Structure 1
Amino acid sequence: MQPKIRFTASKAPAAQSALARLTARYGQTDLRRASVVVALGGDGFMLETLHAQSGRDLPVYGMNCGTIGFLMNAYIDDGLPERLQLAEEALLNPLSMQAENVRGKVTNALAVNEVSLLRQGPQAARLRVSIDGRERMAELVCDGALVATPAGSTAYNYSAHGAILPIGADVLALTAMSAFRPRRWRGALLPKTAEVRFDVLDSDKRPVMADADSRNSVRDVISVVVRSNSEISYRLLFDPGHGLEERLIREQFV
């Protein structure tokens, strides 16, 4: 049975050209009748597509029309229905972010890769870190800190010298950016079930912003709570032998 494909593409010229070619060749199915979504773009667009599919339970197969394409498959015009039928599925649970700002407004958002806290001004952030309601670090002075999923561990987390996590690991990475106190703190690995709370100390003098997947930003936060949301699963499709597990291993040997 041929898959019913819904194509979607980023605004990049390469992605738009690919969209025109593929829809002319394979057609375009209405989203309500589609059995699979094919996303054309880069990793950022894949994250947008996954967030847009919340509640639909549709698998997403990405083809790289961007730069890195860690979450994408190679772009090839030919044989797409066959590739979709042979594709391997990976299930990802996002992070839930609950951020409260200085005015008491609470913002909730989801993140496939990471939730990050970043200093807003020239001075380093001062954060208190608690895990499952227990204070673990009274003061972390840094440019920022993040909690990353295994799928996101090769993104911002890796750039901040955090650990790469196996895709099947029930673990989250807690990583600091440019930690000043404790000096050069390397971060921590936490159970997937852990609830991480950041309290911003001295928020009037050292303002901090929170961000979920570089999509949902909240300025002037005073507290941020992060946990894995096991009630939501995103379905990604990969060509056989090129799934996330293989990519995470390969990334460590380049």
Structure 2
Amino acid sequence: MDAAPELPRNLRGRIAFHAAATEAAESARDRLTAIHGDATPEEAAVVVALGGDGAMMEAQHRFLGRNLPVYGMNRGSVGFLMNDFREEGLAERLQVAQAALLHPLHMRAVCCGGGEVREALAINEVSLLRETRQAAKIRILVDGRERVPELICDGVLVATPAGSTAYNLSAHGPIVPLGANLLALTPISAFRPRRWRGALLPAAAEVVFEILESGKRPVAAVADYTEVRDVRRVEVREDRSLRLTMLFDPDHGLSERIIAEQFTV
């Protein structure tokens, strides 16, 4: 991991808190803001997200473009990207935290019909999903070269390292260590080619999905919270102009958790 951005020595009034909409997360936020205050985005030097991995993603979206580091504490269920929750010593933990840097995905979707173009950013993944009972048929190109002429499936996704432990993992995609500079390309319930399990791609790769028989087999594209219906072409690439920073305790053991998860049976 990289060194964390240098934070002010006095963080009183410089921490912005973001809590998931659960009793446990909101109660923790109330107690912590009573101690540390709750900064506005303009005043904040760091963000503390309370909840599960979804709270981490929500916080990153909320503060996207401000280049504020986000430190998560687990008040949810899984919390793969979260640190252990403790109320005491928060300021000291933030000062010694280590940083993991990543970039969001940029989705450019071209719709059927009039060819309307919709764009969105994704911190976890961009996924394509069939809209009806009929399987989708999708052609996949990577950096302009055809790699899969026809994927018959329920869908397919491109995940960032941060998103590799979310939908990508449930679709049997690989867990990608933070900082690995890779993207996961993972099919969802692939029927043909039956043995294709996806690929790991360089982070700089551009992935293009072309929807075959889009009138008969409509497909939706989803970038985190943004859904675009009836697409005919979707382009996905990393947006290097935006940087996201996640903070972890030095003893968090994220690397060990990533390795152990891959041996879970």
Quickly name the TM-score band, shorter chain normalised.
Answer: over 0.9
Q: Secondary structure at the match of 1:31?
A: coil
User: What is the Cα deviation at residue 223 of structure 1?
Assistant: 0.8
Alignment partner of 1:152: what SS? helix
Which residue is equivalent to 2:189? 178
- Aligned match of 1:168: 179
1:72 aligns with 2:52: no
How far is the alpha carbon of 1:253 from its aligned partner?
3.5
SS in 1 for 2:59: helix
Q: Distance in 2 between matches of 1:40 and 1:209?
A: 31
Q: Quick check: 2:48–2:73 contact (8 Å CA) kept in 1?
A: yes
Kindly indicate whether residue 10 of structure 2 is the aligned counterpart of residue 2 of structure 1: yes
Is 1:252 paired with 2:258?
no
Q: CA deviation at 1:2?
A: 2.1
Residue type of the alignment partner of 1:91: L
What letter is aligned with 2:170? S
Partner Cα separation in structure 2 for residue 226 and residue 26 of structure 1: 40
4-13 or 163-172, which deviates more: 163-172
Matches within 5 A, 1:89-108: 89-102=99-112, 103-108=114-119
Task: Give 2:132's aligned residue.
Answer: 121
Task: Describe the superposition over 1:79-132 as per-residue Cα deviations: whole angstroms up to 9, x where unpaired.
Answer: 111111111111111111111111322111111221110111111100011111
TM-score by length of 1: 0.94
Q: 2:142 aligns with which of 124, 131, 135?
A: 131
Question: Where does the alignment leave 5 or more consecutive residues of structure 1 unmatched?
Answer: none
Aligned partners of 1:247 and 1:106: how far apart in 2?
39
Between the aligned partners of 2:198 and 2:76, the Cα distance in structure 1 is: 31
Give the counterpart letter for 1:89 in structure 2.
A
Q: Number of residues paired by the alignment?
A: 253
- Aligned-residue Cα RMSD (Å) equals 1.5
CA–CA distance in structure 2, aligned partners of residues 52 and 159 of structure 1: 25
CA distance in 2, matches of 1:243, 1:217: 34
Cα deviation digits, residues 211-241 of structure 1 (max 9, x gap): 112x111111111101112221101111112
Choose which of 209, 216, 228 in structure 2 pairs with 1:218: 228
1:238 to 237, 244, 248: 248
Contact 1:86 1:239 in 2 (8 A): yes
State which of 11, 19, 25 in structure 1 corresponds to 2:29: 19
119-128 or 163-172, larger mean C-alpha shift: 163-172
Matched to 1:15, the amino acid is A
Taking the aligned partners of 1:247 and 1:114, their CA distance within structure 2 comes to 21
Write the letter of the residue equivalent to 2:247.
Answer: L
Q: Secondary structure at the match of 2:209?
A: strand
Structure 2: gaps spanning 5 or more residues: 1-8
SS at match of 1:34: coil
Q: Indicate how the Cα distance of structure 1 residues 167 and 49 shifts in structure 2: closer, same or farther if over 3 A, else same.
A: same
Pick from 66, 72, 76 the counterpart of residue 62 of structure 1. Answer: 72
Over 4 Å off, 4+ runs: none
1:177-227 CA-to-partner distances (Å, cap 9, x unmatched) read 1111111311122221111000111111111111112x1111111111011
SS in 2 for 1:68: coil
**Alpha-carbon contact 1:125-1:207 (below 8 Å) kept:** yes
